[in-house]
């Protein structure tokens, strides 16, 4: 833990007044308390031209310690789902190389399962491309949500965008990153941990086939539980307008699920959501100045973290 608590951050500001994070597991539940724009302007390694190798090592290490506990449920879910995917490919006659490469390069769970069927039907890359666009259309909204958060992260940014699967987005868009943790490295570790779980799971599944040692029926629920917990955290830690935004998401997708069925409801839901947000903009657009995000904006521009610190203290 010592490495994570360097009293001086990369830009030389003293952070002595900062609450020191306790054990990672313990801190996890508080950190995930969701508010997208509560992410403080954490020091970035990019601006520390004079930072030594040792310092950047400890910055990187501290971020891993903050990020890892949040990925534990995903570890469980991804090893299991990845393995089922590898096993599925194995039973269809593919060597483990296929699930290994597909999980590393496609890295979008549901699309990989769809691709297994594509590989078993007639050769049609254009249809495969269009299907990938439709199945993954929700990523467009993830991107819009993270435009601001991924700003100024330099070489890490392309990988963060590449690896933004549902679970990684859910963590990165809602995690309350402590002030003394580097934002870029935090995102990077969440993304890298999650991807490695998935690739390892898929590869191992492809290698061992269907000889799992214990009954894993129902384990896939761990990812449902993750989304529900993040949703709850957002709900419990926010006020009326955020609730309205969350309800728009739930109701529009529920309605579209009933109308269009489980396989085709994603794109209609996104369309309904978009319309609802545009129509309700007069009600919802004051969301920003009214919450911490406004304080965050100011802090970003003036390089002064005091406001956020105060916000955090009042919240805690």
Residue numbers 35-54 binding other proteins by CB under 8 A: 36-37
Q: Which two tokens stand for residue 204?
A: 């191992």
Cα–Cα distance between 227 and 215 in angstroms, integer? 24
Token pair of 227 as six digits: 């989304």
Per-residue binding string, other proteins, 2-21, x by CB under 8 A, is --------------------
The torsion region of residue 218 among left (phi > 0), alpha (psi -120 to 50) and beta comes to left
Residue 166 touching other proteins (CB under 8 A): yes
Of 67, 248, 299, 308, the residue at the interface with other proteins (CB under 8 A) is 248
Pick from 1, 306, 48: nearest CA to 182: 48
What DSSP string describes 161-220? HHT--HHHHHHHHH----TTS-HHHHHHHHHHHHHHHHHHHHHHHHHH-S--SS--TTTT
DSSP 19: P
- Nearest to other proteins of 18, 145 (CB atom): 145
What is the Cα–Cα distance from 272 to 255, expressed in whole angstroms?
10
55-63, 180-188, 203-211, 258-266 -> range binding other proteins (CB under 8 A): 258-266
Q: How far is it, in rounded angstroms, from Cα 219 to Cα 298?
A: 44
The distance of closest approach from Cβ of residue 78 to other proteins in the complex, given in angstroms and rounded to an integer, is 13
Q: How many CB atoms lie within 10 A of CB 260?
A: 14
Residue 252 Cβ vs other proteins, minimum distance, rounded to whole Å: 8
Residue from 150, 185, 189, 198 in contact with other proteins (CB under 8 A)? 150
State yes or no: residue 294 binds other proteins (CB under 8 A).
no
Describe the crossing of helices 53-91 and 183-208 by its angle, rounded to 10 degrees: 30
CB of 284 to other proteins, least distance (A): 6
Segment 172 to 211, residues that bind other proteins, using CB under 8 A? 173-174
Under the criterion CB under 8 A, does residue 123 sit at the interface with other proteins?
yes
Q: Which of 66, 79, 83, 266 binds other proteins (CB under 8 A)?
A: 266
* Range in contact with other proteins (rule: CB under 8 A) among 12-20, 44-52, 56-64, 156-164: 156-164
CB of 89 to other proteins, least distance (A): 10
CB atoms within 10 A of CB 120: 10
Q: Which is nearer to other proteins, 61 or 139 (CB)?
A: 139
Size of the site for other proteins (CB under 8 A): 111
Binding other proteins (rule: CB under 8 A), the pick from 12, 227, 239, 259 is 227
Tell me which of 78, 85, 96, 169 binds other proteins, using CB under 8 A: 169
115 touching other proteins, by CB under 8 A = yes
d(CA 40, CA 312): 10
């Amino acid at each position: 833990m010592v490495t994570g608590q360097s009293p001086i951050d990369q830009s030389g500001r003293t952070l002595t007044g900062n609450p020191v994070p306790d054990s990672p597991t313990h801190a996890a539940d508080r950190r995930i308390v969701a508010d997208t724009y509560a992410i403080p302007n954490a020091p970035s390694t990019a601006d520390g031209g004079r930072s030594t190798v040792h310092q950047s090592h400890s910055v990187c290490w501290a971020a891993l310690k903050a990020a890892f506990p949040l990925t534990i449920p995903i570890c469980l879910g991804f090893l299991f789902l990845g393995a089922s995917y590898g096993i599925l490919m194995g039973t269809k006659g593919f060597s483990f190389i296929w699930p290994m490469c597909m999980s590393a390069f496609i890295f979008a769970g549901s699309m990989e399962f769809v691709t297994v069927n594509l590989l078993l039907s007639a050769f049609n890359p254009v249809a495969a491309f269009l299907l990938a666009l439709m199945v993954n259309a929700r990523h467009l909204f993830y991107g819009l949500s993270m435009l601001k958060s991924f700003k100024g992260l330099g070489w890490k940014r392309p990988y963060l965008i590449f690896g933004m699967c549902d679970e990684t987005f859910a963590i990165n868009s809602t995690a309350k990153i402590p002030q003394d943790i580097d934002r870029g490295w935090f995102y990077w570790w969440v993304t890298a941990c999650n991807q490695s779980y998935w690739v390892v799971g898929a590869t191992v599944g492809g290698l061992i086939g269907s000889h799992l040692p214990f009954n894993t029926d129902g384990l896939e629920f761990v990812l449902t539980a993750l989304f529900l917990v993040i949703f709850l955290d957002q709900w419990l830690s926010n006020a009326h307008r955020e609730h309205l935004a969350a309800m728009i998401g739930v109701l529009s997708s529920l309605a579209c699920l009933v109308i269009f069925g489980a396989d085709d409801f994603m794109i209609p839901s996104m369309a309904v959501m978009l319309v609802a947000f545009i129509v309700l903009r007069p009600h919802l657009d004051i969301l920003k100045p009214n919450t911490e995000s406004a304080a965050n904006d100011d802090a970003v521009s003036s390089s002064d973290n005091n406001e956020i610190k105060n916000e955090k203290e009042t919240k805690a």
